[in-house]
Every structure is written in structure tokens, then in C-alpha cells.
Structure 1
């Protein structure tokens, strides 16, 4: 699959498959929670970086309220 035609869903499937393969038959624990939290944290951090630290702009890009962004940043320890 060419990277330029990959969707976000394709990327998630590829990474989850790799993660499950790395478990070598062990059952995952709280897979949904892990994926959601790790993806959200990375998304927030990267978007904020791309916006030069401008929280208002980052909130706009993410399609969320600035206060919601602030709370999420605090939740993930990214509110420096």
C-alpha cells in the first residue's frame, strides 16, 4: 500500500496489527483505551507544535473548544 494513499484508518490498522504481533500471542489489555489515549495525546502534542504553541489555533484545527483543549492538555501532562 502506497503511503500517499493511506487513510488514518489504514495507519491505525497497520500499527494495531504490529502491536498485536509484538505481543506474540498474549492477549492485549484495554486495547481500546490504550489506542484512544495514545493517539489523542500524540495528536494534541503534534498539532500544538505545528501551531507554534498557539492553543486557539490548535483548538480550531482540532475542531474542539479551547477550554476542552486546555483540559485535555492537562490530562496528558502537556500543559507546560
Structure 2
């Protein structure tokens, strides 16, 4: 199991420094998925990846802000109504 260090925004030395790590995680996961497909045509990959990433992201952001939807929506850059819709969609409400 890999250990993950969680940094609050004020603890992060540079917000940009965290970006490549996230990108690389996504890139590795997509590569692995495609390899696992074993030459079968992947279909709906965009929606699949977005659902796999969006639900845990929403969960973590909501936890981070103690369930405060207004703060979470602000952090995510979406309006509160959109956040509520997405939380409901993923059964997180």
C-alpha cells in the first residue's frame, strides 16, 4: 500500500508542484486500463475516467470542509447547486 501525504493548501509549498503528481497518477491509471483492455477497443473512456475521479474528489473535498457545501463548492470552482446535484448523483448526500 502506498502512503499518501495530505497537505492543506496553506501547507503546500507550491500548488503547481502538486499538479504533475496528480497528472502522472491519472496518466498511469489510464495507461494501465488500456493495457488491461488487451487490444480491445475502449469505449466511453472519458465518462468512465471522469466518474472514477469525480466521486472520490467530491468525497474528499466535502470531508475536508466538514460537509460545508458552500466552502466545498467554492474550492471546486462550481456553484452550490451543481455540487448538490453531483453529490446526489454519486450518492454522497
Question: Same fold by TM (over 0.5)?
Answer: yes
Q: Residue 24 of structure 1: which of 17, 20, 38 is its match?
A: 38
**Unaligned 5+ runs, structure 2:** 1-16
TM (norm. structure 2) is: 0.70
Moved over 6 A (4+): none
Match of 1:45 in 2: 59
- Segments of 5+ residues of structure 1 without an aligned counterpart are none
Bigger relative contact order (CA 8 A; separation at least 6): 1
Instruction: Quote the residue 2:3 is aligned against.
Output: none
* Residue from 40, 50, 54 that aligns with 1:36: 50
Aligned length: 76
RMSD over aligned Cα atoms: 1.8
| Structure 2 counterpart of 1:75 | 89
Higher helix share: 1
Q: Distance in 2 between matches of 1:5 and 1:39?
A: 16
Shift of 1:60: 1.4
